[in-house]
Structures are given as structure tokens and as C-alpha cells.
Amino acid sequence: MLTGDALFIGDVGRPDLLSSKGVTSDELAACLYDSLHQQLMTLPDTTRVYPAHGAGSSCGKNLSSETWSTIGDQRATNYAVQAMTKEAFVHVVTEGHSLPPAYFSYDAVRNREVHEILDEEASPSPLALEDVLRKQRAGAVVLDTRDPNEFAIGHLSDSINVGLAGRYAEYVGGVIQPGAPMILVTEPGMEREAKNRLARIGFDNVVGFLHEPVAAFVANPDELSRSRRLDVAELERLVESERDLQLIDVRQPGEASKGVIPGAVEIPLTRLNERLSTLDASKPTVVYCAGGYRSSIAASRMAAAGFADVADLLGGYGAWSVATAR
């Protein structure tokens, strides 16, 4: 059985992700309860279950890394299909979720539309630096998919860093507007993967990639910017010396509930775009997350939006909590 987003291994689907006019998440949860108990869980225990997602997806809160299971295993181990009333089920499956990625409502519409089949073998077109800059001036977003430390050393001004090694497509969907033309900067040979992973969330307007980026950077240093990445000691000195410092925590609410750096404003990365206008772009700003991946994304997005002095914290909240516990 291919269970899509209804039944996962260890979890069930999130009723709050579907953009349905006039239908609440509680009503959708009640429908999910009926689908599970009147249909899926009536099948024999030996029925194999193949869900659409696994660990790392935002579509559930307890997803397993296993790729398949059985109805019997789920009946025994999945918290969401245990015996309970519909009211109890609605409460259980609608609480404790992370904020949904910003692009989900866009995808809900796109999934109902006719569109071309993705050609996973096709690579985006190589572009010379002058073509990249011309397209960027015309409104294209330069998306740098390299490691945050490599990005910090040097990158095209106003580009946004979302490392390919992390939850790449999900976070691109959180900081870049759907439909925006994108130009990729990647490690050699990674252009096609970067393009394909974006297309799987409906972000298929990749107009090309920067050809031989290292050579282009070396030959055109005036087009580059560097990013500041602070360690904990540097952050502590900055907090003491800079009265106007904006400290931004871009983790999810569930993470921040376990502790934040004093004075931080909580703005989850998935809500950064809509909250940028509430911040002062002229003030010195430091961004942090759990370990440093999301903070580089946020800092680059803010720099591209005109924040004059923005840095991120190496090691994130984890490094700060270890350092301050000594």
C-alpha cells in the first residue's frame, strides 16, 4: 500500500498543511481519523506500507528513517493509530508540530495544476559571470548552495546561501519567493542535483548556473562579499559593547522553548521573510540557530535585503550553551 501523507512509519499526516478554504485543521484531522480507522487499519497485519516521506520531513513529528513497514507493525508501535476517541486523536495530531515551510500553500495549489514532467537528466545552462550579474540585476536570485564556511569566505554580493548538504529544498522554499528566477552557484558537478531538488517542491524556474565559480571569483574580486561568522566569545564581547545589537533566534518554537540566548528575538526561519520589516536593517545584527546551517541562510537573506551589518553564530545555540555552562 502506498500511503502518501496519510500514514507514515511512526506517525500520520499533518492536518494543518493543506490549504483548503473553509476547512479547519481539526476538521481535516477528523477526516484523517476516519480514513485510518475505517480503511487503512482494517487491512491485514501483513500488508506492506510504503509512505511518501521519512525522517527529516516537516510532514510529521515522529517520522522513522525506515523506508517501509507493515500494518501490523504500525498497529503495535505508531502512537497515532492506537485506540482512542476521535476527539483525542484530533488533539494528538494537531499539537506539537513545527511551523510549516512557507512554500506549502504554494505547493497545495501547484499540485492541482497541470505542469511538465521533470526531466531529471537535464542540467541547467552554464552562465558566464557577466550573464549572471545581468540576470541578477533584472530580478533573478543567486542561490549559492555551497557549505556556509565556503560561502562566508567569498560569494557574489546579494546571493543567498542554502547549503546543498542540509534540508536544502525546504529552506529555499522558506526564504525565496515561489516562481522567482534562480541562478545556482554550486560545487562542480552538483548543478543537476541542486536543480532537481528544487523542482520537487515546485521551484522549477532555474535559469542557469555560474560556470566555474572559483575562477570567476578570483578574476572578479570586486563582485564579491564576505560574511561574518562569530564564535561565542566574539558574540559575548559584542553583546557587552553594542547597545543596539539585534540578536535573532531562527530556530523553531519547540527548540526555542528549551532555552534562548538572553535578549534574542525569536523569528523562525520559515517566517523570516514576513518578519523582515519588523527589524531595523541599520542596526548590527547577529543570527543564530541550533548549529549554524540555518543561521547562514538567514544572515545571507538579510544581507540581500539590505541589512548593513549582519553576522551569524558559529555552532549556534549548542555552542553557546556549552560555553556558558562551564
Question: Looking at the structure, do residues 163 and 265 belong to the same domain, yes or no?
Answer: no
Question: Looking at the structure, do residues 318 and 235 belong to the same domain, yes or no?
Answer: yes
Mean pLDDT of the chain: 92
pLDDT tens by residue, 164-184: 998 899 999 999 999 999 999
pLDDT at 76 over 70: yes
pLDDT at 303 over 60: yes
pLDDT of residue 56: 57
Confidence of residue 21 (pLDDT cuts 50, 70, 90): low
Residues forming a β-bridge with 49: 69
Grid cell 562551564 in the structure block, residue: 326
Q: Strand (E) positions, the chain?
A: 2-4, 48-51, 69-70, 126-127, 141-144, 155-156, 160-161, 182-185, 206-210, 224-225, 228-230, 246-249, 265-266, 285-288, 310-313
The secondary structure element, H or E, covering residue 223 is: none
Can you tell me the mean pLDDT for 232-261? 94
Output Rg (C-alpha) for the chain, integer angstroms. Answer: 22
Question: Looking at the structure, do residues 240 and 179 belong to the same domain, yes or no?
Answer: no
Question: Looking at the structure, do residues 16 and 56 belong to the same domain, yes or no?
Answer: yes
| Total-model pTM | 0.84
Distance CA 238, CA 245 (A): 8
Confidence of residue 108 (pLDDT cuts 50, 70, 90): confident
Distance CA 309, CA 307 (A): 6
Whether 172 contacts 143, CB under 8 Å:
yes
DSSP string, 90-103: HHHHHSSPPPPPTT
Question: In terms of Cα–Cα distance, which of 101, 93, 118 is closest to 27?
Answer: 93
Q: Which of 197, 225, 253 is the last residue of a domain?
A: 225
CATH of the domain at 74: 3.60.15.10
Distance CA 305, CA 302 (A): 5
In a domain, 268, yes or no: yes
Whether 40 contacts 75, CB under 8 Å:
no
Question: Looking at the structure, do residues 242 and 315 belong to the same domain, yes or no?
Answer: yes
pLDDT of residue 246: 97
Question: Looking at the structure, do residues 43 and 133 belong to the same domain, yes or no?
Answer: no
Whether 1 contacts 36, CB under 8 Å:
no
In a domain, 103, yes or no: no
Q: Which domain holds residue 26?
A: 2-97
pLDDT at 314 over 70: yes
Q: Which of 75, 97, 119 is the last residue of a domain?
A: 97
Using the CB atoms, write b or e for 293-306: b if 16+ within 10 Å: bbbbbbbbbbbbbe
In a domain, 90, yes or no: yes
Question: Looking at the structure, do residues 209 and 249 belong to the same domain, yes or no?
Answer: no
CATH of the domain at 201: 3.40.250.10
All three cell numbers of 14, joined, read 499533518
Question: Looking at the structure, do residues 257 and 199 belong to the same domain, yes or no?
Answer: no
Give me the percent of the chain exceeding a pLDDT of 70: 94
pLDDT of residue 116: 86
Question: Looking at the structure, do residues 58 and 7 belong to the same domain, yes or no?
Answer: yes
Distance CA 215, CA 232 (A): 33
DSSP string, 110-132: HTTS--PPP-TTPPPPEE-HHHH
More confident residue, 295 or 166: 295
pLDDT of residue 14: 84
Question: Looking at the structure, do residues 144 and 73 belong to the same domain, yes or no?
Answer: no
Number of domains in the chain: 3
pLDDT at 226 over 70: yes
In a domain, 102, yes or no: no
Give the count of alpha carbons within 13 A of 229, CB side only. 23
Q: Which of 178, 197, 225 is the last residue of a domain?
A: 225
Give the count of alpha carbons within 13 A of 311, CB side only. 15
